[in-house]
Structure 1
Amino acid sequence: MVSATEEETTGFGWFPEEIIHQILSFLSEDGKKKARDLSKEWFDAFRTYPKLSFNGINQQDFNNTLARHNFGRVSFPYRLEITMEFKNNDEDAANMDKWLKIALENGVRELKMNLSSFCDDLSEVKLINVPRLRELHIYHLKHSIHRDYDLKVEIDAPNSFQPYINLQRLTLEGTTIVTERFFMVKFPHLRSLVIPSFKDFARENLTSNSLEKLEFKPSNDLPVQKLEVDSPNLFSFHLCLLYVDIFPKVSFMSLVQPHIKSEVSLWYASDMDNCCFLMMEEMLSSLVPSRISLHIDIESDFDLDESESLEESFTGFAASFLVCYPEIVTLRIVMNERASRVVGCLQRKLEDAESGPGEGIQGVSCSQGWEKMPGKAARLDEFIKCCMQGM
């Protein structure tokens, strides 16, 4: 393998992984092995090649491809992505079981499963004895299945070996976690985790010594009042609140990092009242000592011809929100077409505003209701009133 100095002179190290994979697809097996030694980047890309993505349209071609990999004619994919739309449930379920068995027996490292359409007869997906699996992404299990049927995804392992010691990234969406100790016990080296709500736990405690990034997506179906995160190496936390009525309080325990970066994304479908902002204040206050970035997306049906309604709504937002003091705020307000004159006036007022140290508006980018500002936008209510006077 070439040295770092040789790599700089040959110019082989700058290609992105996707381009290297494309080049490798045209080479013979001997050619791939020679290309592997061009540089460290080529060697790393060779280790993650090939990547096989299957959408379920032509099952016979996919069967033939897996057969070539399975019998050693070509190296088995590092990544395998299966998007399956079930039509003939018995046959499709049997094929899925066969494909997963071949992939796991041959040491696939990253597995993505996207089960779309209705899966009436698919009642269980079970992954057992997959010690080499490093990434697992499961999507659309809740919304894609007929409500009269329940799909159980069981990730379990025999007691004879330590489960999933290499799994580092796990994404679960549209699913429910039934035990608080699930991640610490099953995934001792997990570094990145995306999870929905836990089942029947209004107060949740998540413990992991290895976790660095956490994204939490509670729902109204399983509301969470408090989330306790005991992960000393955590440095990034993302809380996604999509049309929820309860904002959870979050507490971080045993942090090694003096500050972590927290991002809160909030989607709200109706007018936000003072109660909503009080809950937001409590939630953001609980994120201390985080460096908070807050993204708010409000779908509002204001009657823009009635200035009192608009002023009352914006003033209520400003008065309740100012006590939260996040570092960065991105606010998007979705209105009807008549909002353009208000947005234009608001943009001019914000751009003309004076900014003091750590206060005021440092940058404005308005496009049908977008504005970006630092947290202490203490004069937002005054700006709105000025906008109303300029209409």
Structure 2
Amino acid sequence: MADLLPQCLIHKILCLHSFKRAAQLSILSKTWLQAWLTIPNLSYSLGYLEHNMKKVMDNIMERYRDGKIPIEKLDLSYSVYSNEVFPLFNKWLDIALQNGVKDLVFRVPSHLTSYPLPMLTILATKSLRELVLTGCDLYCVSLSSGVVNCYSLRKLSLTQVGLGDNTLQILLNSCPFIDSLILDYCSWLKKIELLNNLPKIKSVFIRKSGTQLVKIQAPSLEHLSYFTGGEEFAMFDIDAPNLVSLEYKGFKFPATFMDANLQWSCYPTRFVLDSTSETIASFMDVLMHMMSSSHSTSHGSNKPLHRQLKEVKADKYDWENQRWHCDPVELGSERMAIRDLKDKFCFLLYWSCN
């Protein structure tokens, strides 16, 4: 019965499993074996006790190279501090790029950052649509010496990646059609700036540490998640007039959203705030003041807001049951009822144009 399935469907089934599990399923029949031999998603993890897997993985990659078998996704991770594997990484990456890889995932523990990732070679490919890097060190990578444009890239995810401000800007400018950007604990950055250099950007996730300055000017941006640790004030400046949802997590809330007399430069309809009870209560006061005001001014001027906040609905998160409360919270009644040290609320904001 399993042989009746077309190979493209078997590929989809195998891609739902780990590479090891997919290999086990190949014993079902010759059809499934042939499908596994040409599976488009490859996932390898090289650990401390898996040195013998290097030859197996190398043989598989050579088979894909010699047979020119298309590769949709290559997921490569390692936890071995050894320069001996670096030539293999280069070889496997070259094969994947030559075979038209679309999604490339490379993970390494942040304390093992000596591998010189061939970024120029990666960016030069015309098929790449998603690049996910974890723990890599891009400080030793010179992008300015031979900048290439990767117009196909749509998603860029950097987690605990070592890179400087200039490298980040070169990287973003080289991939102008990114629509999803993740910067997760890239602590070496002093500032994160998106200044109209990503005209197609739709979603941005930033989790930062320290006192990084974040400045965003992105008319196309629709979803923003911004997490900050510690008790430092969030240095946060955003101009995104088409923003739909904003999620913020941190102890100190940006002053931009805490002063009802400042002109908001974005008008999200969904605002998730995960912070201290005191901060959330103060934010509720701001929202109530904005609703009761006929107009607001910006930085001491008499310039009215482009939009007026007309209505707010708030849902409180139930930490015990890991879900949102079904009944909306009234701002005025909840203001004095907050008792927990930490809370999470989802505010639905209804705006009208002035």
Scaled to the shorter chain, the TM-score interval is 0.5 to 0.7
Please name the residue that 1:379 is paired with: 333
* Partners of 1:264 and 1:293 within 8 A in 2: yes
Counterpart for residue 235 of structure 1: 222
What code does the residue aligned with 1:266 have? K
Secondary structure in 2 aligned to 1:325? Answer: helix
SS at match of 1:66: helix
Distance 2:203 2:89 in 1: 31
- Aligned CA distance change for structure 1 residues 21 and 228 (closer, same or farther; 3 Å): closer
Deviation at 1:206, TM superposition (A): 5.0
Identify if the C-alpha distance between structure 1 residues 295 and 152 changes in structure 2 by more than 3 Å, giving closer, same or farther: farther
Change (3 A) 1:110 1:290: same
Query: Match for residue 282 of structure 2?
Result: 320
Match of 1:98 in 2: 91
Which of these residues, 112, 116, 121, is aligned with residue 109 of structure 2? 116
Of the three residues 140, 157, 167, the one matched with 1:171 is 157
Report if the CA contact (8 A) 1:248-1:283 is conserved.
no
Partners of 1:243 and 1:266 within 8 A in 2:
no
Instruction: Extract unaligned runs of 5+ from structure 2.
Output: 17-21, 289-309, 340-354
Asked if 1:125 corresponds to 2:117, the answer is yes
Q: Secondary structure at the match of 1:98?
A: helix
Give the match for residue 19 of structure 1: 13
| 1:212 lines up with 2:198 in the alignment | no
1:136: Cα distance to partner?
Answer: 0.3
> Does the 8 A contact of 2:115 with 2:136 survive in 1?
no
Partner of 1:290: 268
Q: TM-score, normalised by structure 2?
A: 0.65
Distance between the aligned counterparts of 2:323 and 2:208, measured in 1? Answer: 26
Q: Given residue 197 of structure 2, which amino acid in structure 1 is its aligned partner?
A: T
Q: Secondary structure at the match of 1:83?
A: strand
Give me the CA root mean square deviation.
4.2
Match runs of 1:361-380 below 5 Å: 365=318, 367=320, 372=325, 377-380=331-334
How far is 1:192 from its partner?
1.1
| Among candidates 248, 258, 262, match of residue 265 of structure 1 | 248
Judged with a 3 Å threshold, the aligned counterparts in structure 2 of structure 1 residues 245 and 81 are, in CA distance, closer, same or farther, namely: same
C-alpha distance after superposition, 1:9-38 (max 9, x if no partner) = xx99xx898437469966649986xxxxxx
Q: Is contact 1:131-1:163 (8 Å) kept? A: no
Matches within 5 A, 1:305-316: 316=278
User: What is aligned with 1:67?
Assistant: 62
Partner residue in 2 for 1:223: 212
Kept in 2: contact 1:85–1:117 (CA 8 A): no
Amino acid of the residue matched to residue 249 of structure 1?
F
Residue 320 of structure 1: how far off its partner (Å): 1.9
Other-structure match for 1:191: 179
> C-alpha distance in 2, partners of 1:49/1:167?
23
Separation in 1, partners of 2:188, 2:330: 34
